Amino acid sequence: MVSVRMRSCVLSVLLLNVFYNVVSSLYFHIGETEKKCFIEEIPDETMIIGNYRTQLYDKQREEYLPATQGLGMFVEVKDPDDKVILSRQYGSEGRFTFTSHTPGEHQICLHSNSSKFALFAGGLLRVHLDIQVGEHANNYAEIAAKDKLTELQLRVRQLVEQVDQIQKEQNYQRYREERFRQTSESTNQRVLWWSIVQTLILVAIGIWQMRHLKSFFEAKKLV
Amino acid sequence: MEVGRVIVCALAVFVALFSERFVVLASFSQSMDSDFTFTLPAGRKECFFQTMKKDASLEIEYQVLDGAGLDVDFLISSPSGQVLFSDYHKSDGVHTVETVDGDYMFCFDNTFSTVSEKLIFFELILDNMEIEEEQDDWKEYVQGTDILDMKLEDIMDTINNVKARLGKSVHIQTVLRAFEARDRNIQESNFDRVNFWSITNMVVMMVISGIQVYLVRSLFEDKRKVRT
């Protein structure tokens, strides 16, 4: 009885902690038609959650206020093969999620959907962005509630997820290193191959030139 | 006792609601970091801002992963506009700042390059961003009434320790990944270069030999006899 109440108290504190996460994230300015892209290099089967918040510059008060309704952001995510895996419009504050199916460089692009050029009032839109990768994207409050975990179990579960992610990243690193090595070896081979071919072609052209000119002079009765 | 516990729980909810610097339960360690990779077009300057509190520390590490010359100009300025660090044509760098309240701005400048766009990776590590007491307050609520009180605390400490170390591993992996990406990009551009210049070389050789033969022949094309 007592422990249940304590647990629910802990969980509610947990939940509130999770919701207050976006407080001190990085921000940048974006123009009306400008598109800002970020690249995330991730292994396969990794979940990514992006949170963003926009603020519009108010000329009268000369400060940034929370953005107006109707001003949304268009989010587009491309996978390493340049195929679009997420292309959606969100409001002035939003969160987007996707899971990678191929390892590699995924490109996350944001641009505003504003068509009225006057809306930004010459200023810029301030965008707060936070991207969580892999196990950081897990919502532990939810998992704890769903699987009815005690706190100790929750923390151990988290450690397991963290180790999983490290292992996935290491596997991906091995695959990339292999590709890297293949490119290097291929370059090395090609340098040697092209040099030999060029030398042979040079010699062949020299022989051809001399033979051709010789027959030409003989034809012209100069030799 | 029951009432006390209810009050304590309500207090916890209150503190969570009104405090600004509550960090997600999921991060036991105090540092939060985020990393971003983006393309900086030629002739552009991109700036990012980070809100900081007093007496925290901000560490920024950046690397240029791709782009001719693999260099970029970098700048950090404090909330009052004063330039704290400035790098010129560097390919990677690390800077740590002890912060005051306000928004720190850091900029990557590629205006010196007219044709090549740069791929830049940067990582922000924030330390001491939340207030110490809140973390301890929270611990009080967690300490249950079970007999296994002390043992639970020991286990918690060990788990925190392990989590901090794993966090460091993840951080090192991120840095290694950036280095590897840069080396790979260099290699791939080497590969392209070797292909391109070899073919160009061959074509130029053959064209020139053709021209030579043609020119020599044309010397003898006119009807004049060459004196021997």
A35 in contact with B, Cβ within 8 Å: no
Residues of A in contact with B141 (CB under 8 A): 6, 9-10, 13
Residue of B25, B36, B174 to mutate when probing chain A, most A C-beta within 10 A:
B25
Residues of B in contact with A14 (CB under 8 A): 25
Token readout for B55 is 């007496």
pLDDT band of A119, cuts 50, 70, 90? low
> Is B221 or B210 the better-scoring residue by pLDDT?
B210
Q: CB distance B183–A180 less than 8 Å?
A: yes
B130-163: pLDDT as tens digits: 544 444 444 444 444 445 667 778 888 888 899 8
CB A75 within 8 A of CB A92: no
Banded pLDDT at A109 (limits 50, 70, 90): very high
Q: Is the pLDDT of residue A124 over 70?
A: yes
Structure confidence by residue, pLDDT tens digits, A95-108: 899 999 998 899 99
Chain B CB within 8 Å of residue A194 CB: yes
Per-residue tokens: A179: 């590709």
Whether the CB-CB separation of B228 and A217 falls below 8 Å is answered with: no
Among chain B residues, the shortest Cα distance to A194 is held by B198
The distance of A212 to chain B (nearest Cα, Å) reads 8
pLDDT at B171: 87
Question: What pLDDT, on a 0 to 100 scale, did the predictor assign at position A83?
Answer: 93
For residue B127, pLDDT beyond 60: yes
- Dist. CA A139–CA A17, nearest whole Å: 11
pLDDT at site A3? 54
What is the distance in angstroms between the Cα of B169 and the nearest Cα belonging to chain A?
8
Residues from chain A that touch B162, judged by Cβ atoms under 8 A, are 159
User: Between these two residues, A58 and A14, which has the higher pLDDT value?
Assistant: A58
- Categorise residue A121: left if φ over 0, alpha if ψ from -120 to 50, beta otherwise: left
Instruction: Answer yes or no: are the C-beta atoms of A187 and B190 closer than 8 Å.
Output: yes
Say if the Cβ atoms of A205 and B209 lie within 8 Å.
yes
Chain B nearest CA to A91, separation (Å): 22
Query: In this predicted structure, what is the pLDDT of residue B167?
Result: 87
pLDDT of residue A70: 67
Tens of pLDDT, residue by residue over A60-95, are 666 677 766 667 888 999 999 999 999 988 888 888
Q: Minimal Cα–Cα distance from A17 to chain B, Å?
A: 5
- Across all residues in chain B, what is the average pLDDT? 78
Which of A13, A196, A216 would best serve as a mutation to test chain B binding (most B beta carbons within 10 A)?
Answer: A13
Structure ipTM: 0.71
Please give the residue that has the higher pLDDT: either B19 or B178: B178
pTM score, whole prediction: 0.70
Q: Render pLDDT for A141-174 as a digit per residue (tens, 0 to 9).
A: 777 777 777 777 888 888 898 898 898 888 888 8
Q: Which residues of B touch A179 (CB under 8 A)?
A: 184
Non-local (6+) Cβ contacts of A171 within 8 A are A43
Q: In the predicted model, what is the mean pLDDT of residues A114-138?
A: 74
Q: Is the model's pLDDT at B30 over the cut of 60?
A: no
How many residue pairs from chains A and B have C-beta atoms closer than 8 A? 184
The band of B6, judged by pLDDT with boundaries at 50, 70 and 90, is low
What is the rounded distance in angstroms from the CA atom of residue A37 to the CA atom of residue B38?
6
Check if the beta carbon of residue A107 is closer than 8 Å to that of residue A78: yes
Is pLDDT of B92 > 50? yes
Exposure on the CB side of residue A207, measured as CA atoms within 13 A: 6
Residue A43 pLDDT > 60, yes or no? yes
pLDDT above 90 coverage of chain A, percent: 13
H/E segment holding residue A165: helix A151-219
DSSP category for residue B149: H
- Cβ-based neighbours of B205, under 8 Å, separated by 6 or more: A198, A201, A202, A205
Instruction: List B205's β-bridge partners, or say none.
Output: none
